[in-house]
């Protein structure tokens, strides 16, 4: 289970860094990000003889860094320079790595995310907070990896830890998704198209849209406090008539059926270019447990 979290975090942050790489020039990245990146490249060069960095030739690292520092239009970030893990992925270490990549506020997002809150409210848990629950998982992981296992966890505990890891991955996914959409909106590459005013059973919502187009089959995003949900448009209604697409100029009330449950007062966001794919942040669909 811990390996699932570790692999997921590595994958989404690599993809996020790729997003930054293609969305911004190097000089547009924050000063702290650039400082962290140069420091990370230096650490890799200093430890280039270690097995973990054998696949990163020093001359390529130096060349790529020089190209970025020179302000070239095309440059390449080396993800490993930003993903140096100092400790096991307890919440504080997750917070540090994400902040290192320019993603601040992870702890607060996780603590308030609807999946995490639902996890703790749905049943009695070993711990009462996400920080404590993750600390327990890391502790059991370290005991199994480096010590003698005195107690084999039962199915109930393994199931709880599995459910928590899945909820945590969903919260992390939406956190990154929210940041990407905010960045695209600032660059006029995503549109805040309107707001959800009403919701009904069957994943149906009424949204007031302005200066936006949407069609059946489109992917849109519903953003609210500590929530950023991807949704597929299954059907549309305009003035009680089924339509294949809507071109909203002035404020237009549109009925929309989605493949997820909408939340009232959510903001409707639409990326303006298909090249900005956010789907990489989908969490693992299934985490299996084993008592072997």
Residues in the chain where the model's pLDDT stays below 70: 146-147, 149-150, 152, 274-292
Tens digits of residue pLDDT in 87-145: 999 999 999 999 999 999 999 999 999 999 999 999 999 999 999 999 999 988 877 77
Query: What local confidence, expressed as pLDDT, does residue 10 receive?
Result: 95
Class of the CATH domain delimited by 190-281: mainly beta
Query: What local confidence, expressed as pLDDT, does residue 74 receive?
Result: 93
DSSP 152-200: PPPHHHHHHHHHHHHHHHHHHHHHHHHHHHHHHHHTTSEEEEEEEEEEE
Domain boundaries, the chain: 2-184, 190-281
Which residues face 233 on adjacent strands? 258
Distance in angstroms (rounded) separating the CA atoms of residues 195 and 251: 10
Query: What local confidence, expressed as pLDDT, does residue 129 receive?
Result: 96
pTM: 0.88
Query: What local confidence, expressed as pLDDT, does residue 149 receive?
Result: 63
Query: What local confidence, expressed as pLDDT, does residue 140 receive?
Result: 82
Query: What local confidence, expressed as pLDDT, does residue 69 receive?
Result: 95
Distance in angstroms (rounded) separating the CA atoms of residues 138 and 144: 10
């Amino acid at each position: 289970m811990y390996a699932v979290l570790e692999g997921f975090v590595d994958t989404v942050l690599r993809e996020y860094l790729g997003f930054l790489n293609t969305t911004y020039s190097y000089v547009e990245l924050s000063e702290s990000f650039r400082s962290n990146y140069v420091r990370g490249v230096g650490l890799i060069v200093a430890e280039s003889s270690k097995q973990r960095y054998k696949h990163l030739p020093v001359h390529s690292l130096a060349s790529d860094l020089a190209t970025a520092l020179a302000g070239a239009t095309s440059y390449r970030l080396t993800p490993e320079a930003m993903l140096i893990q100092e400790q096991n992925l307890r919440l504080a270490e997750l917070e540090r790595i994400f902040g290192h990549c320019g993603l601040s506020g992870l702890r607060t997002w996780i603590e308030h995310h609807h999946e995490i809150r639902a996890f703790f409210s749905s049943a009695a848990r070993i711990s009462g907070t996400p920080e404590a629950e993750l600390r327990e998982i890391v502790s059991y992981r370290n005991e199994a990896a480096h010590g003698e296992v005195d107690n084999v966890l039962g199915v109930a505990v393994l199931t709880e830890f599995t459910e928590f890891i899945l909820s945590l991955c969903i919260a992390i996914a939406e956190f990154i998704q929210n940041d990407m959409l905010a960045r695209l909106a600032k660059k006029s590459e995503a549109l805040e198209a309107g707001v959800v005013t009403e919701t009904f059973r069957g994943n149906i919502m009424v949204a007031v849209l302005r200066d936006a187009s949407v069609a059946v089959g489109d992917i849109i995003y519903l953003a609210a406090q500590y929530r950023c949900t991807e949704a597929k448009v299954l059907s549309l209604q305009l003035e009680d008539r089924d339509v294949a697409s809507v071109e909203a100029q002035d404020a237009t009330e549109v009925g929309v059926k989605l493949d997820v449950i909408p939340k009232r007062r959510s903001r409707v966001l639409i990326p303006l270019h298909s090249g900005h794919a956010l789907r990489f942040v989908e969490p693992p669909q299934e985490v299996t447990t084993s008592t072997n």
